[in-house]
Amino acid sequence: MTSKTILRALAGETQPVPPVWMMRQAGRYLPEYRATREKAGDFLSLCYTPDLAAEVTLQPIRRYGFDAAILFADILLVPQALGADLWFVTGEGPRLSTVTAQSDFDALKPADAIHETLSPVYETIRILSRELPSETTLIGFAGAPWTVATYMIAGRGTPDQGPAHVLREGDPALFDALIARITEATIAYLSAQIDAGAEVVKLFDSWAGSLKGDAFDRYALAPAKRIIAELKARHPGIPVIAFPREAGPAYEGFAKATGADCVALDNSVDAAWAAEHVQKDGCVQGNLDPSLLVTGGDALVAETKRVVDAFSGGPHIFNLGHGITPDADPENVHRMLEAIRG
């Protein structure tokens, strides 16, 4: 049995103290991150400079001793590797050239052509494999096909993923082809991350909640199942965390339907409900409200303990329900860890 607590939770072990990490734990709330990002010059340069990307991945491990480090990268590196133009607008976020017509799709590269662009990411993982403490699990990740497609179709983040829904309904053949291309690229990308040293991979479906009914099954559940099956065929024993954010009742049964070893939960889901309906199928991850790391105080401690207690009857990885925000107080992370670890 491994001594790594995250891997033990993913294997189904219930532990007296849950292992813990945070989504976006390497980020703007940390002064050391801001200094390194300034050194890199811009966000994409930070992602593609292995020494600096490894450094920011290591910063929260040094400061807090989390049980896992998650690779510092971005879900939109895959569309860029497929041939989309990608840039970041300060204060507004990412922008992409769009895929809305067959000619746009035809201009994309094949899925197996991504590695040239993404090779610096694999080098970051190799550095981390050498430099992380022996007890710390290294998590790789990618965006899930639906979420990545929403950005590729709209060219940016949108409040309701409207452009992607319009294409999905108006030109299903083109939409299905795009989902298939992203799915194959994601398999290739995550497989290469595992070869480089990632011990767990996570699939972020940040916009899964805007898919309803059959559309959820077809575009959130089915691609996850395909990716997980292929990764496990290539890398037997590799654990996979799935995060179909805001799936609501569809969280129930998601692990069994996809083959995921763990389902990450957003903070709109009640922990007691999830313990009864989701954790029965295996490990769950989550799901503290990130806003509590801004406000802190007794509410942070009480809610942290409530989440720990709710999931104490089964395998659990403590995390937030979404990424930590730039305005979070680094001291509140210490308070959260004290509440978890006593």
H-type alpha helices, 132-253: 145-154, 162-170, 172-196, 214-216, 222-234
Please tell me the number of Cα atoms within 13 Å of 192 on its side-chain side: 22
Query: Any residues with CB less than 8 A from the CB of 295 and at least 6 apart, and which?
Result: none
Which of 8, 24, 181, 226 does the annotation list as catalytic? 24
* Residues 6 or more apart in contact with residue 15 via CB below 8 angstroms: 5, 8, 9, 315, 316
The answer to whether 151 is a known catalytic residue is: yes
CA 189 to chain CA centroid, nearest Å:
14
- Pick the catalytic residue from 151, 189, 219, 251: 151
- Which candidate in 34, 63, 74, 306 is catalytic? 74
Token code pair at residue 200: 């767990």
Q: What angle do CA 69, 75, 81 make, to 5 degrees?
A: 120
Active-site position among 8, 29, 33, 37:
37
In the residue annotation, 189 being an active-site residue is answered as no
| Per annotation, catalytic residue among 28, 63, 218, 306 | 28
Q: How many CB atoms lie within 10 A of CB 298?
A: 8
- Catalytically active residues are 24, 28, 37, 74, 151
